[in-house]
Amino acid sequence: MRVAVRFGYLGDHFAGSQLQPAGRTVEGEFIDACVRLGLFSDRRDARVAFAGRTDRGVHARGQVAALSTSEGEQTVRYLTHHLPADIWCNGIAVVPDAFHPRKAALARTYRYYFHPRGHDLAVMDQAAAVFHGTHDFSRFARLSPGKDPRRTVISCRVAGTGDLGVITVTAESFLWHMVRCIASALLAAGEGSGTAEGIRARLTGADSRPVPPASPYGLVLWDVDCGVHWDPVEPSERSARRMAGLCDYHGVMRGIIRDLPGRGG
Amino acid sequence: MRVAVRFGYLGDHFAGSQLQPAGRTVEGEFIDACVRLGLFSDRRDARVAFAGRTDRGVHARGQVAALSTSEGEQTVRYLTHHLPADIWCNGIAVVPDAFHPRKAALARTYRYYFHPRGHDLAVMDQAAAVFHGTHDFSRFARLSPGKDPRRTVISCRVAGTGDLGVITVTAESFLWHMVRCIASALLAAGEGSGTAEGIRARLTGADSRPVPPASPYGLVLWDVDCGVHWDPVEPSERSARRMAGLCDYHGVMRGIIRDLPGRGG
């Protein structure tokens, strides 16, 4: 049976998603959990494949992996309990034997969260529309030599969510650092140090200066549309507890840091 | 000249405040910065002394150090620029030659920040009053053998600040883990799993079960009253920038984690 698993993770404590000889990786932890659960013993035999790579510090809500196993669907549902607390499954689907999540991906959506201190979200949303369509993203990416710099952005929007701002970008596929460079350009537009015209000039090549990428910690691989209908899986209680604890931790740290620098009494 | 320096730090990346052979410590970084600035070359000759120790992960806003130097007051004001970005000065004072901040301390104030999810702050504040006065804090501390377990709490209050709750405790001095144990008992009272009577029973010894300490990251050494009038010092720009960046980081992480676990679209 070939099965696709949709899963999320917090990127803080990973040296990126992709398997590498040294350092804790998302793929490494995912594969180890599968082996512990007995889904397979060799990742090559199981043809384990992932929809995409994320850099060090980047999070995911909808990363997709595929694997082949002789175990049943019910066993795969236990995978979430074998993963470390900072990775959790949220969907599974039985897929055709040839399924590869990267090749099956019709569109990917990233979200970039930011603190909207002094940023005009409406101006950012207008500037975001400039990215729609097919463009040469050379100025908005770290390109490997010979790589086609053209990509098609299906949607790019900016909105508020709670006390944060969020940029949501959907494209058929992305270049390396592309979302972080788009975010950086939109943040500049939102604080008045950049404009929609400046973005257009860089997309047409009239301005050849590269845009620097925004910091990674705000970036989330939100969704990969593989044309699959996901059967929902709950995160483990351990993972849910850890996430609630981390949410409190970050909220408390923010409050403390806000109060600390004052010289006060 | 003997000078007292009032300074703050973020405890995240320190193995505690106290100097130790291995591991980054607040005292170690503070002394290194003084040596780099040329305030002294030997900490023993300079009779460097600190008002108190804080554990791994505990922050400070009003820690106090004293040191002797042949440099002038203006040079000491530069110290904040020689400290790492997670330590910053906020006051200095010329003091008598015999000044020792631990011995001079009339009172210390700690704050404990927490996320008030489901906690009744009014109930907590009422329970906090039970701590006022002189009590045997054996059940609210990690005691070294032979240590006097009696301490005098001058004030203990619970209030809201922004979206967080904060416990503010002032005492002449504290036992090890005492604030974290007080916080733990008050948090239990606030969520209904403990009561003011339960706290009283532990203070009188009617209930001999120890209270576990709350997690360290919410704890801030807020102020040490050494009877000194502080001449204000501004944190370095580098430190202010780092703190603003960290405040954003924690705010963004909280928002991301809040949104992440949902299985969604």
Neighbours of A114 (CB within 10 A): 23
pLDDT (0 to 100) of residue B122:
97
From start to end of chain A, where are the E strands? Answer: 2-9, 49-50, 59-68, 87-95, 107-114, 133-136, 150-161, 164-171, 219-225, 231-232
Non-local (6+) Cβ contacts of B27 within 8 A are B17, B18, B19, B48, B50
Residue recorded with tokens 């576990």:
B212
Among A59, A232, A249, whose Cβ lies nearest the Cβ of B260? Answer: A59
User: Is the Cβ of B243 closer than 8 Å to some Cβ of chain A?
Assistant: yes
Is there a contact between A261 and B91 if contact means CB atoms under 8 Å apart? no
pLDDT (0 to 100) of residue B19:
87
Point out the catalytic residue in the list B32, B55, B120, B136. B55
Q: Which of B54, B229, B249, B250 to mutate to test the interface with A (most CBs of A within 10 A)?
A: B250
Among A10, A114, A234, whose Cβ lies nearest the Cβ of B257? Answer: A10
Buried b (16+ CB within 10 A) or exposed e, B206-231: eeeeebebbbbbbbbbbbbbbebebe
Is there a contact between A252 and B114 if contact means CB atoms under 8 Å apart? yes
Please tell me the distance from the alpha carbon of residue A208 to that of residue A187, in angstroms, as a whole number: 19
Q: DSSP string of B142-177?
A: -PPTT---EEEEEEEEEEEETTEEEEEEEES---TT
Q: Which of B37, B34, B46 is nearest to B1 (CA)?
A: B46
Please report, in angstroms and rounded to a whole number, the separation of the first and last CA atoms in chain B.
67
pLDDT (0 to 100) of residue B265:
34
Is there a contact between B255 and A8 if contact means CB atoms under 8 Å apart? no
Read off the pLDDT of residues A68-95 as tens digits, 9 standing for 90 and up: 999 999 999 999 999 999 999 999 999 9
pLDDT (0 to 100) of residue B5:
97
Per-residue pLDDT of chain A (265 residues; tens, 9 = 90+): 999 999 999 998 898 888 888 889 999 999 999 999 999 999 999 999 999 999 999 999 999 999 999 999 999 999 999 999 999 999 999 999 999 999 999 999 999 999 998 899 999 999 999 999 999 999 999 998 899 999 999 999 999 988 899 999 999 999 999 999 999 999 999 999 999 999 999 999 999 999 999 999 999 999 999 999 999 998 888 888 888 889 999 999 999 998 886 533 3
Read off the pLDDT of residues A109-124 as tens digits, 9 standing for 90 and up: 999 999 998 899 999 9
Q: Mean pLDDT by 10-residue block, N- to C-terminus, for chain B (265 residues)? A: 96 88 92 97 96 92 97 94 93 97 96 93 98 97 92 97 94 96 98 96 96 94 96 88 90 90 46
pLDDT (0 to 100) of residue A263:
38
Q: What is the pTM of this model?
A: 0.86
Average pLDDT, chain A: 93
Q: Which of A86, A253, A258 to mutate to test the interface with B (most CBs of B within 10 A)?
A: A253
Helix axis angle for B121-128 and B178-190, nearest 10°, is 130
A45 is catalytic: no
Among A59, A115, A162, whose Cβ lies nearest the Cβ of B248? Answer: A115
| 3-state secondary structure (DSSP) of residue A40 | coil
CB contacts of A252 in chain B (<8 Å) are 113-115, 164, 217-218
CB contacts of A257 in chain B (<8 Å) are 10, 243, 246-247, 250
pLDDT (0 to 100) of residue B261:
67
Is there a contact between A163 and B233 if contact means CB atoms under 8 Å apart? no
**ipTM of this complex:** 0.88
